[in-house]
């Protein structure tokens, strides 16, 4: 599939730098994946893909999918948005074989996001450990966050959601709802976390005031941690995350409630961090990566946000630390995009969110 990209500008929010249309080809590597959620690249050229229904699949370099799911996974709570979510390799995977998984844990009446790790040995999971379970357990099956990133010191940040019906708890430092947490890779709490030692505060918290954070990426070259989160009707946000900051939900937001009611009269307030940009109406951002490959020199250092509602990928141009324009890509697929990753071969990889989902690879047209 050969297409040209469509460029746009974001008005006063971004520097008005024109974007050039770029030819690319979209290849289908794998089909028949059931609501795939995340892809990770193994050193041997194979890939791991999670399916929300609770399966971890091995995909060969040629795209063929092992018919048998990886053995050793725990049973996840699966309903609506709940299920198996992210998979990420340890920064020292070549030495220790640890991989990390997120999934919804519990029952419809009492559940939340759980982080675990295991070693991949002979295509099976061994030494399985639960590292963290977000508290409190809550009812319903929405807003789990669930994305993982590793910082420069190899600690782990995990995104979480506000549980949908508990949005005010995003401002409560005593729990994990609507937070990003930071952990050591064994699940212990880093002693330099911003709320360690504060009475009544959960020591795992790294930032607060989030709604449902489903994209996070650490730019090691510039020491920047980017995230994006779902707003309600509008108000999706791209944020630059710093330790201890409060990102405002639900006290300040560009979104309105699904009922049409105003959530807050404020889009910004003193002491709350405003987003780098917001998407209104909502695009439903679902994954975030930064491109540093050789196949698309024009994309170097740009952020890519997959979207569900818009059925696209947003390329967010970054120049000298400033946002410099935005571009809508891959609308021609007409599919919800659950994950976007910059691959080790320089290609861009996509997962489509369908009962018959696909793993796609984007390469130059020539």
Are 217 and 157 within 8 A, CB to CB?
A: no
Token pair for 195: 């709320």
Q: Is the dihedral of CA 264, 266, 272, 278 positive or negative?
A: positive
3-state secondary structure 275-318: CCEEECCCCCEEEEEECCCCCCHHHCCCEEEEECCCCCEEEEEE
Question: Of 348, 230, 221, whose CA–CA distance to 293 is shortest?
Answer: 348
Catalytic residue among 143, 176, 230, 278: 143
Which helix (H) or strand (E) is 48 found in, with range?
Answer: strand 47-51
Active site residue 143: yes
Q: Is 111 helix (H, G, I), strand (E, B) or coil?
A: strand
3-state helix, strand, coil in the chain (%, to 5): 5, 45, 50
C-alpha to C-alpha distances, 93 to 70, 165, 224, 241, nearest whole angstrom: 17, 38, 23, 26
Residues identified as active-site: 143
């Amino acid at each position: 599939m050969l297409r040209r990209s469509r460029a746009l500008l974001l008005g006063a929010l971004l520097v008005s730098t024109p974007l050039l249309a770029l030819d690319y080809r979209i290849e289908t590597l794998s089909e028949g994946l059931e609501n795939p959620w995340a892809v990770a690249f193994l050193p041997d050229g194979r890939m791991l893909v999670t399916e929300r229904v609770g399966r971890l699949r091995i995909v060969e370099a040629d795209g063929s999918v092992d018919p048998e799911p990886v053995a050793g996974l725990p049973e996840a709570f699966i309903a609506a948005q709940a299920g198996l979510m992210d998979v990420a390799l340890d920064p020292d995977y070549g030495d220790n074989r640890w991989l990390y998984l997120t999934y919804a844990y519990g029952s419809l009446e009492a559940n939340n996001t759980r982080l675990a790790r295991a070693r991949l040995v002979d295509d099976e999971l061994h030494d399985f450990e639960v590292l963290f379970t977000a508290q409190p357990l809550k009812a319903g099956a929405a807003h789990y966050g669930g994305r993982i990133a590793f910082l420069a010191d190899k600690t782990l940040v995990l995104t979480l959601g506000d549980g949908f019906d508990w949005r005010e708890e995003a401002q409560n430092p005593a729990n994990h709802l609507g937070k990003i947490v930071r952990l050591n890779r064994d699940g212990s709490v880093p002693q330099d976390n911003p709320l360690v030692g504060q009475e009544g505060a959960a020591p795992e918290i790294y930032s607060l005031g989030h709604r449902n954070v489903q994209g996070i990426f650490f730019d090691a070259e510039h020491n920047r941690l980017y995230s994006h989160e779902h707003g309600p009707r509008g108000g999706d946000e791209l944020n630059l995350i710093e330790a201890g900051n409060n990102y405002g939900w639900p006290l300040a937001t560009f979104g309105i409630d699904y009922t049409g009611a105003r959530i807050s009269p404020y889009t910004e307030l003193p002491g709350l961090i405003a987003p780098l940009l917001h998407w209104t109406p909502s695009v439903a951002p679902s994954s975030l990566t930064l491109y540093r490959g050789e196949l698309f020199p024009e994309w170097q250092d740009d952020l890519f946000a997959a979207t569900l509602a818009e059925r696209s990928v947003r390329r967010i141009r970054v120049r000298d630390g400033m946002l410099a324009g935005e571009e809508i890509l891959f609308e021609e697929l007409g599919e919800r995009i659950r994950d976007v990753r910059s691959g080790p071969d320089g290609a861009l990889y996509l997962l489509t969110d369908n009962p018959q989902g696909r793993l796609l690879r984007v390469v130059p047209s020539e």
